[in-house]
Amino acid sequence: MTEEQKGKINQMEDFFIDKIADNMTTYGVSPTVGRVLGIIYMNRKPMTLNELSEATGMSKTRMSQVVREMLDLNIAEKIFEKGVRRDLYTVERDYYQTFVSLFTSNWQKVINKNKMFDKKVKTELVSILEQAEISEEDEIKINHLLKETKEWVDYYQWLARLVDFFESGEIFKHVPKT
Amino acid sequence: MTEEQKGKINQMEDFFIDKIADNMTTYGVSPTVGRVLGIIYMNRKPMTLNELSEATGMSKTRMSQVVREMLDLNIAEKIFEKGVRRDLYTVERDYYQTFVSLFTSNWQKVINKNKMFDKKVKTELVSILEQAEISEEDEIKINHLLKETKEWVDYYQWLARLVDFFESGEIFKHVPKT
DNA sequence: CAGTTTGTAAACTTTTTATTTCACAAAGTT
DNA sequence: AACTTTGTGAAATAAAAAGTTTACAAACTG
């Protein structure tokens, strides 16, 4: 086997890593997060911060930051191995599961942020509406906003159901894996 | 009606715009794109670059850039109105449709980028495998990669079906709007 | 206990992305 | 035809994000 062929194999692995990373950025994570995920994935076993630092050519501190982000997103996990002092990290090996994790954590975040919004707006609008002296024009405007609020709430409830549809695995019943 | 109440109404509209923008960033678009979408949405009728520039406090050039990005993403449309010289832009008013448009354009892009990938890798790997002198270790590695390629292809086909599931509106049969 | 190693915060630097300014062609007006 | 207005490139600047260096506490080692 020539050196050239050895190189080819490694090159193919790097191709995969790039593709995984590329795919990943579509979820809104930074390219480095994607790359690290790809690296651990292709490594087929847990890695330490030092190894990652070595593999990416980036500082250990950066790896620490990236790994933490991945833990937050539920796409990596810290694992314990007896006798090993350094922290070891694995990634989800199932592409579908990774998709679901990122999809749900992104949208769940938005849903939570909007939790209190409609109540606040509604209360405020109704209280203005209850005042005696309002021009007709303004009343129309307020009613528009109230209607808008309702639609917004409906949309968010749909989003929540959608997230659940993915998280529960229901999606795979209708869009099967193979 | 006091000035204060007038202010409250405008404030509520701004709240909406911010929430729309915030929601939007989850699709990976810049905050300004989200904000412009929110502004046109709340305006309830098409707007010109000058109006947008006025409303955002940003330069007209920037608005031109933002609007073009929105056209690319299929979340805005240029419309013609006789007698009006300036270009007018509307946005999709249906939150669900906006979700679907962004979801599909994002993932479609990734799917397209990956179109040729697997063929290239597979050809390359098989050609190495056909060489006579390969260490057992390397053979295992290559077979791993081939298996990986297969899984990757399956995943991408699933993604394509998923995109279609949204684009066709099928999703709403299983996660209904109301 | 003195000496390492490990992970991460804090401050700084670099790179990338967002935005503005300036310029100019194309279309519209008078 | 001279004069405006409109939309958008291209280059420059500002703002934000990504990444590094230094420093240090906590957990290990001998």
pLDDT, tens digit, for every residue of A107-141? 999 999 988 888 999 999 998 888 867 888 888 98
- Which of A28, A121, A131 minimises the CB distance to B12? A121
* Residue lying closest to nucleotide D29, CA to C1': A85
Is residue A138 within a helix (H) or strand (E), and if so which, with residue range? helix A136-167
Contact B9 A96 (CB under 8 A): no
Per-block average pLDDT, block size 10, for chain B (178 residues)? 76 92 92 97 96 97 98 94 91 95 93 89 89 83 93 96 98 96
A136-167 and B3-25 are packed helices; what angle lies between their axes, rounded to 10 degrees?
A: 20
Which positions in chain B touch A22 (Cβ < 8 Å)?
A: 110, 113-114
Contact B16 A125 (CB under 8 A): no
Give residue-wise pLDDT tens across range A53-68: 999 999 999 999 999 9
**pTM confidence score:** 0.91
Tokens of A14: 């790097």
* Contact partners, residue A159, CB within 8 Å, separation at least 6: A107, A110, A111, B99
Distance between alpha carbon A4 and the CA centroid of its chain, in Å?
Answer: 38
Mean pLDDT within A13-32: 93
Distance set, CA A47 to CA A44, A65, A91 (Å): 9, 15, 10
Domain ranges of chain A: 3-91, 95-174
CATH topology for the A3-91 domain: Arc Repressor Mutant, subunit A (1.10.10)
What nucleotide is nearest A59 when CA is compared to C1'? D20
